[in-house]
């Protein structure tokens, strides 16, 4: 973290300490809510991307080729545990 960012964060922290306990709690709840929302949004984006990849015919074809190539090593005589 750069010195500039550090000083900005310290200034924000100083300002927060000037707030009442009720205001601080409200702010923490808002920040936590925003973080949860962003995390869920990012998770949905990732899930949508994975779903799109899974239904992509080129990717399915490539996975089939890989599976066929590894089928030889699966029959190497070792027992499954």
Are 59 and 53 a contacting pair, CB within 8 Å? Answer: yes
Q: Where is pLDDT greater, at 6 or 3?
A: 6
pLDDT digits (tens, 9 = 90+) for 24-79: 999 999 999 999 999 999 999 999 999 999 999 999 999 899 988 888 777 666 66
Per-domain boundaries in the chain:
3-73
SS (H, E, C) 24-66: HHHHHHHHHHHHHHHHHHHHHHHHHHHHHHHHCHHHHHHHHHH
Task: Kindly state the DSSP code that residue 75 receives in the 8-state scheme.
Answer: T
Q: How far apart are CA 57 and CA 43, in angstroms?
A: 24
Q: What is the pLDDT of residue 75?
A: 67
**Token match 């994975």: residue?**
50
pLDDT at 12 over 60: yes
- State the Rg of the chain over Cα: 25
Residue 76: predicted pLDDT = 63
């Amino acid at each position: 973290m750069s010195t500039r960012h550090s000083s900005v964060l310290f200034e924000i922290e100083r300002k927060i300490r000037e707030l009442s306990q009720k205001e601080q709690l409200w702010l923490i709840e808002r920040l936590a809510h925003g973080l949860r929302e962003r995390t869920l949004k990012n998770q949905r984006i990732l899930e949508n991307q994975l779903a799109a990849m899974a239904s992509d015919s080129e990717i399915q074809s490539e996975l089939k080729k890989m599976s066929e190539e590894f089928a030889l090593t699966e029959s190497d005589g070792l027992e499954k545990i």
